[in-house]
Structure 1
Amino acid sequence: MKGMQSDTITRRIEVPGGSGRAARVRAGELVRVVDVAGGQVGDVFAFALETPGEHPGNEHHSAAHTRAATSRLFPAVGDPFVTDRRRPILTLVADTSPGLHDMLIAACDPQRYAQLGAPGHRSCAANLREALAAIGHPYTGPTPQPINVFMRIPVGADGTLSWLPAPTAAGDAITFRAELDAVVVVSSCPQDLVGINRGEPSPLAVEVLAGQGRQA
């Protein structure tokens, strides 16, 4: 196991395969995303609850700003995830999966499925909107680029990308520490036309754990 995890689960949210759910978390709490059956990609989004001088709910995790902050294409234990205001919002603190996660690929959306010949297909972009609406969150901006947990998109020597099945086994998990009061949304990616998931979309679980407080 890479990193440390608390065992004090205060909330557990089931995310049905192909759907999304949101959780409000406080700074210092831990958020663990569990691949229940194995082989399932999850799109993780995070929104700061308070931003000085800004409309509430607009500040969000940014993959592009995070890559600039960490000088890495893909996250590793100990790395921060920063917002579009360059503030740390999450930190990757533990990972019991093979450790392969993506921050290059946009969330699937209705346009993506229309291009693949499947109009009306569920998408992570729609799951995000539904999950935020369910808790009354006000974000209405463009779909942020997510943290694609368990997603295996290696970069070849010539710069090409490969779309490979998620390598996770049942029960594999990744744990983040919230550095700000935030809303975290997890979408069990409904993609079944490109081979990133093994067959039908399967459930994920979001566990909120009592943490040790925000690190200085």
Structure 2
Amino acid sequence: MASTHRPGPPPQPAYHATPGSILNVDRPFYDSIAKASRTLIESFTLPIRSGRAWQAPAGHIVRISTPEGAQVGDLNLWNMHNPRERFWAARTRQLHASHVSTYDRLWSCLPYLRPMVTIVGDSLSDYGVDQYGGRCHDLLGTRCDPYVNTMLTGDSYDFHCHSNLTRAVLPYGLTEFDVHDVLNVFQVTGLNADGKYFMEASPAKRGDFIEFFTEQPVLMALSTCPGGDLSTWGWGEGGGGEEGEKRSMLDCCRPLKVEVFSLDDDSILGAWHEPTSPQYRGRHGMEVPLGEAPSR
């Protein structure tokens, strides 16, 4: 059957980072933040197949690194004071790209729609596009979860990323319903010729990192994926939850390290301020009653 595709130039991105746009970040400013003197205020290492949440004030730097080599991490974010404002993976994917790196931002959901963090450092930024079309730091996929695993394999396993993140946020008054689509750090993914999602082994080496500047006070949660570096991913259709496959994946699981830094000199922030939400004043086309009209 003949192709019905029309010849012509490729379509342009739906959203453009035009001069002065909030999508067009001040790169020298964020470069200066990345290079600025800083003080470590919190540090911990997540064991394999675990999750942990932590808070970071606005105007700080959060660094996630691979202290022992390649390992994928699933990251969630919320506003520290209002968990209804949380990371929106789909809109971030549209505003920036399917995979994010330095100068990209992670955006919050409606009705807030503002930057939560800006990426200021990425040791894997030169990964680019590999021979299969894969890219690093994935926004195409989401977290692994026990529901899909049980549906496809009949196996019940409690340490998927969804479960790890659920346990991580419980001390902060959140529940499973607050866990949402993630940024998969250090994960390489893409779409094949049939449009099907694929994953590759993480290219991270010992000491690789990604750094975020907090544009607002945030609660962050991270899972060390039970698939490890994804080089032996085994969950899926056809018995992917078998014990032997879990042990195989266990062999490629490694910890992740989290560090939170304050800037030694706040003056480097200059006129920076916490982003505001779009000032939409409409009511989605509805006339909202203000109460019963007085009798005359």
Q: TM-score per shorter chain, which class?
A: 0.7 to 0.9
CA offset at residue 198 of structure 1? Answer: 8.3
CA offset at residue 39 of structure 1? Answer: 1.5
Count of residues in Structure 1 that have an aligned counterpart in Structure 2: 208
Match of 1:132 in 2: 169
Structure 2: which 5+ runs fail to align? 1-30, 128-135, 236-248, 274-296
Match of 2:141 in 1: 105
CA offset at residue 140 of structure 1? Answer: 5.0
Show the 5 A alignment for 1:140-155. Answer: 140-141=176-177, 143-155=179-191
Residues 1:15 and 2:46 are matched in the alignment: yes
Match of 2:90 in 1: 64
Residues 1:35 and 2:66 are matched in the alignment: yes
Show the 5 A alignment for 1:168-183. Answer: 168-183=204-219
Please tell me whether Structure 1 or Structure 2 has the larger radius of gyration of its CA atoms: 2
Deviations 1:134-176 (A, max 9, x none): 3x23355253110100001023344233211111001100000
Match of 1:206 in 2: 258
**Higher relative CO (CA 8 A, sep ≥ 6), structure 1 or 2?**
1
Contact 1:166 1:198 in 2 (8 A): no
1:44 to 75, 78, 85: 75
Looking at structure 2, the residues matched to 209 and 186 of structure 1 have their Cα atoms a distance apart, in angstroms, of: 17
Looking at structure 1, the residues matched to 178 and 50 of structure 2 have their Cα atoms a distance apart, in angstroms, of: 19
Structure 1: which 5+ runs fail to align? 51-55
What SS is found at the alignment partner of 2:221? strand
Match of 1:96 in 2: 123
Match of 2:203 in 1: 167
Q: What's the RMSD between the two structures over aligned residues?
A: 2.5
Looking at structure 2, the residues matched to 149 and 89 of structure 1 have their Cα atoms a distance apart, in angstroms, of: 16
TM-score under structure 1 length normalisation? 0.86
Looking at structure 2, the residues matched to 113 and 26 of structure 1 have their Cα atoms a distance apart, in angstroms, of: 36
Structure 1 stretch 117-126 or stretch 3-12: which is displaced more? 3-12
Deviations 1:112-152 (A, max 9, x none): 32224531241111111111113x23355253110100001
Looking at structure 1, the residues matched to 221 and 196 of structure 2 have their Cα atoms a distance apart, in angstroms, of: 29
Task: Supply the AA of the counterpart residue of 1:84.
Answer: C
Deviations 1:36-73 (A, max 9, x none): 211200011100123xxxxx312110111112222x11
Contact 1:113 1:121 in 2 (8 A): no
What SS is found at the alignment partner of 2:197? coil
Looking at structure 2, the residues matched to 195 and 210 of structure 1 have their Cα atoms a distance apart, in angstroms, of: 40
Contact 2:138 2:189 in 1 (8 A): yes
CA offset at residue 97 of structure 1? Answer: 2.8
What SS is found at the alignment partner of 2:99? coil
Looking at structure 2, the residues matched to 151 and 159 of structure 1 have their Cα atoms a distance apart, in angstroms, of: 18
Task: Supply the AA of the counterpart residue of 1:204.
Answer: L
CA offset at residue 199 of structure 1? Answer: 3.4
Task: Supply the AA of the counterpart residue of 1:132.
Answer: V
Match of 1:80 in 2: 105
Alignment CA distance shift 1:140-1:108 (3 Å): closer
Which structure shows the bigger proportion of residues in helix conformation? 2
Looking at structure 2, the residues matched to 187 and 205 of structure 1 have their Cα atoms a distance apart, in angstroms, of: 11
Looking at structure 2, the residues matched to 65 and 206 of structure 1 have their Cα atoms a distance apart, in angstroms, of: 26
Percent of aligned pairs with the same amino acid: 29
Alignment CA distance shift 1:125-1:189 (3 Å): same
